[in-house]
A and B are shown apart, each in its own frame.
Chain A
Amino acid sequence: MLTRLLLSDRGGLIILALLTALIIYVPIGNLLLPADSPLHVSTFTVTLLGKFLCFALLALAIDLIWGYAGILSLGHGAFFGLGGYVMGMYLTRQIGDRGVYGHPELPDFMVFMNYDSLPWYWQGFDQFWFALLMVMLVPGLLALVFGWMAFRSRVSGVYFAIITQALVFALMLAFFRNEMGFGGNNGLTDFKDILGFDITARQTRVTLFVISGVCLIGAYLMCRFIITSRFGRVLVAIRDAESRTRFAGYQVESYKLWLFVFSAMLAGIAGALYVPQVGIINPGEFSPIASIEAVLWVAVGGRGSLFGAIIGAFSVNGAKTWFTTVYPEVWLFALGTLFVLVTLFLPRGIAGIFRTLGQWTSRKPKGDEQ
């Protein structure tokens, strides 16, 4: 099976190899090499790369539905953020009585807002397995309900993009409210430890990094499995000619729905991995602009090629980090220009360059937009 996944995916192979190398090298570079060695990887870099891995996972989730089923979601930040909040709730419960107010059970912001006891929806989050389950269930359920309604009514294309934007915007407004019981504006932060390990310790950071990397590789293989299967071929048919596929007897809605749910779960996992590494989750993750940015990673990397999404997430975020530290004013100019140029001249993104370079003999799949 692995051969089927990896054959005829030269770009993917290279990316996977690079990722594996990164996962092996970074722990060694950080933990074993002395700090003055030129090959040493600082803890800051570990966290930064860990963040990029989470973004890459999110980009992968978006590319799966946008690139292969033509579903553009401008609200994938919703699932990312929900996964993050679930993890944040677990981490908040782990603080225990070490908060500023020292309450044995309630988080600081609840003490501050005069809660008597934990709200019902906070129950169970002190258990790691429960949180882990919820990381996938909460975004998955939201995607199931939302997608079921949307696909059943044949909301597609631009309309779908805009109602997903409405979804993420509504979530942002909701989480900004203090009454929601998720810390309002400040979100959840000041985490202490995860599964008993100190969250700021180097070893924990490196472990989280490795877990993110492994998850990304696993998710990549799963996505690859989906798109190379029969299911995947139906998806591409739906993307290119939805009505024709429907007339051929396929239940277009359920194909789209299950793919959407799967993609939402991936985004949720990405969020859950992201939060312990950055140490905070707040409603800003739900801002519509953040979701659009995530779509842009995919566009830059190459829509419709899974490894392209990973390249896109790494290159855009890398450029962002570099620009915002070196030339903060130029960053938005650069980012804006990048998007304009990529859409005008590189409709298949960075991956498209590799593809034209590497596979000029093979026939290009004909991309027909909605």
Chain B
Amino acid sequence: MPESHGRVAACPGPELPLSMGLSVMMKRLLESLSAWVMLGAFIVPGVLWAESSVEEEPSDMALPLVDIQDMSAEIEPPAPDPEAVFAEQVDRLATGNLRERREMAEALVEGGHPRAGMILNALLEGRLLTTWSTPETPALIILQRGEDAPGRVEQAVTGEVLADGVPSGARAVPINNPMRNLLRDLAAMADMNHALPQRRILASERLMRGSLGPEQMALIESRLLVEEHPRVIDALEITQAVGLLRHEDAQVRLESLERLRGSLLAVVRSTVGAVAEQDPDPIVRQHAVETLEAIQTRIAFYRFTENLFFGLSLGSVLLLAALGLAITFGVMGVINMAHGELIMIGAYTTWFLQTLMPGNLTTALLLAIPAAFLISGLVGVAMERGIIQFLYGRPLETLLATFGLSLILQQAVRSLFSPLNQAVASPEWISGSLAVNPVLSLTWNRIYILIFALLVFLALLLILKRTTLGLKVRAVSQNRAMARSLGVRASWVDAMTFGLGAGIAGVAGVALAQLTNVGPNMGQSYIVDSFMVVVFGGVGNIWGTFVGALGLGVMTKFMEPFAGAVLAKIFVLIFIILFIQYRPRGLFPQKGRSAEA
């Protein structure tokens, strides 16, 4: 796409659309000549640059002949049809000279056409394109939609979609710096009447960054009279207050400072900062300083909240990764070095289900949770029956054997699929973020994973405390001989417990696949952390794991801003080493006889 960065990329040549009258044509010829002189410095490099980038596109597209009839119909009587006026304004905005463009931009805003804001924004961002016009084919004015509909190319005036995309030879309509400043205000003013409240809020915020002259203030005032949406009213009032900071009456300035206390926008901060230094009235300066402090306090609060959230989010990842280990290591005393690989199996299950049903990400993800639990759980039971059951009471040997298993599983995944990372897609409702206010926005995937981790934890807690299996698990882990003599099939319970831990690792893999890369090595990155969490929390106590995971997560994130990610992690590791000296059995040590086992 030829994306001119506002530099001149198209040539406002003498060829004109048929819709223009002859007099206009003459006038234009003269004006375009002056435009040539004005822009001479830009044009040559701009055109060269635009051409070189255009040439890469397929050039055999036919130019759609649009609107010739419509436009020619308007030649005879200059009907006061607003659509026709709009069409002509857009046309002259795109093909006229600079002065004419400025006039047209203003006229567009005055006209209040619903597409006006969109077109001005596109012009500002270099997304408004024109083709060369010849007497046979008038210039086509094209609008590339921005973020609201990425990739959509349409006819600027009518909004008709051009299926072929951008025709070859289309260049961005050029603008220069004074024009850009004007456009910024104008585009915002045009958007002021946009149907979507978010766009109106955005427009209001853009006005705040603009000149905020009497014209804009008047517009805000008039919009405030009709506006009904509470958040838009809020935004407009703040913009108005920023504008009123320049009012000659000190009382008005003080009042608007008062109103700005609640705002967290960067522009508000910098404007209030400027007032605090430059205002002629010392009382106003004093108030501005206070307002700034109030704003800073609120920002500090939200930063804290953000850190807390990211800490809890990291903690939830650690919790998911460590919960399975809390069962296998904590309850059974098996050092399962293949735990990370069980997580990996869960993640690959997600990926595999997604490739099976590519159209339905949500179903695939929801199905992956039980599937991963079953697959990882079965692998776990197989591990327990095949190897680990012969090694009970010898934790260090178990460590070696499971490490060997982890190597086998890694290599198996590498040989079966690929040594490369696999891309796991997220359903739409997981991506994106929740913007609470300008300084605090939380990503949805982290929110969901936090909730998910808590649910998994609760489920595990219920299984252990409320089910027969949980009862037997606890009985066997506390006193194996006694449990057996009361009729518990200890070896069966062992297998089920290990399967449960492994299955939870698999479920963790489903969630982690939404956050990180899925590859044969992914398990290794969790294994050390998981052990730290379990040991920190206290072996044999899943509440300890819960507190340990969230605590370590929050601790890491609060250290990161001033220590950096790597140093924060090093500090956490050192903290754990020192903590173990102080409480060798973790935060919540097991008490009683079973602890000595």
A: residues with CB less than 8 A from B are 66, 72, 146, 149-150, 152-155, 157-159, 161-163, 165-167, 169-170, 173-174, 176-177, 288-289, 292, 295-296, 299, 329, 331-333, 335-340, 342-344, 347, 369-370
Contact = CB atoms under 8 A, between A and B. Distances in A.
Given A343-B401, A369-B394, A159 B570 contact: no
Contact of B580 (A153, A173, A370): A153
B64 to A, nearest CB: 55
B567 A162 contact: no
Contacts of A292: 337, 399, 403
A332 B403 contact: no
Main secondary structure of the interface of B (DSSP, over half): helix
A149 B581 contact: yes
Contacts of A159: 535, 580, 584-585
Interface string B546-581: 000000000000000000001101100110111011
A343 B397 contact: yes
Given A159-B580, A370-B395, A166 B528 contact: yes
Given A163-B577, A299-B400, 15 more contacts: A153-B584, A154-B584, A155-B581, A157-B396, A158-B396, A161-B396, A173-B566, A299-B397, A332-B407, A336-B405, A338-B404, A339-B404, A340-B387, A340-B401, A369-B395
Contacts of A158: 333, 335, 395-396, 539
A337 B401 contact: no
B434 interface: no
A150 B387 contact: no
Main secondary structure of the interface of A (DSSP, over half): helix
B391 A329 contact: no
Contacts of B399: 72, 161, 292
A338 B411 CA distance: 14
Given A170-B570, A289-B524, A344 B390 contact: yes
Given A163-B576, A163-B577, A332-B408, A339 B396 contact: no
Interface string B267-297: 0000000000000000000000000000000
Given A292-B337, A369-B397, A153 B406 contact: no
A-B complex: 3 closest residue pairs judged by Cβ atoms: A339-B404, A336-B408, A336-B407
B559 to A, nearest CB: 13
Given A161-B396, A370-B395, A339 B403 contact: yes
A169 B569 CA distance: 10
23 contacts: A66-B396, A149-B577, A157-B395, A158-B333, A162-B535, A163-B576, A166-B576, A167-B573, A170-B573, A173-B566, A295-B400, A329-B415, A332-B408, A333-B408, A336-B406, A336-B411, A339-B400, A339-B401, A339-B403, A340-B404, A344-B391, A347-B397, A369-B394
B410 A332 contact: yes
A166 B581 contact: no
B532 interface: yes
Given A163-B576, A170-B573, A329 B411 contact: yes
Interface in B362-414: 387, 390-391, 393-401, 403-408, 410-412, 414
Contacts of B407: 332-333, 335-336, 339
A267 B396 CA distance: 21
B588 interface: no
A337 B404 contact: yes
Contacts of B393: 369
Contact of B573 (A157, A169, A289): A169
Given A169-B528, A343-B391, A344-B401, A155 B580 contact: yes
B400 A296 contact: yes
B429 interface: no
Interface string B496-535: 0000000000000000000000000000100010011001
A343 B400 CA distance: 7
Nearest to B383: A340
A297 to B, nearest CB: 11
Give the one of B394, B401, B585 with max A CB within 10 A.
B401
A158 to B, nearest CB: 5
Nearest to B394: A369
B549 to A, nearest CB: 15
A332 B411 contact: yes
A170 B335 CA distance: 21
Contacts of A344: 387, 390-391, 401
A331 B410 CA distance: 12
Contact of A336 (B335, B404, B585): B404
Nearest to A156: B584
Nearest to A300: B400
Interface in B582-597: 582, 584-585
Contacts of B584: 153-155, 159
A335 B570 CA distance: 31
Contacts of B411: 329, 331-333, 336
Nearest to A347: B397
A155 B581 CA distance: 7
A339 B399 CA distance: 10
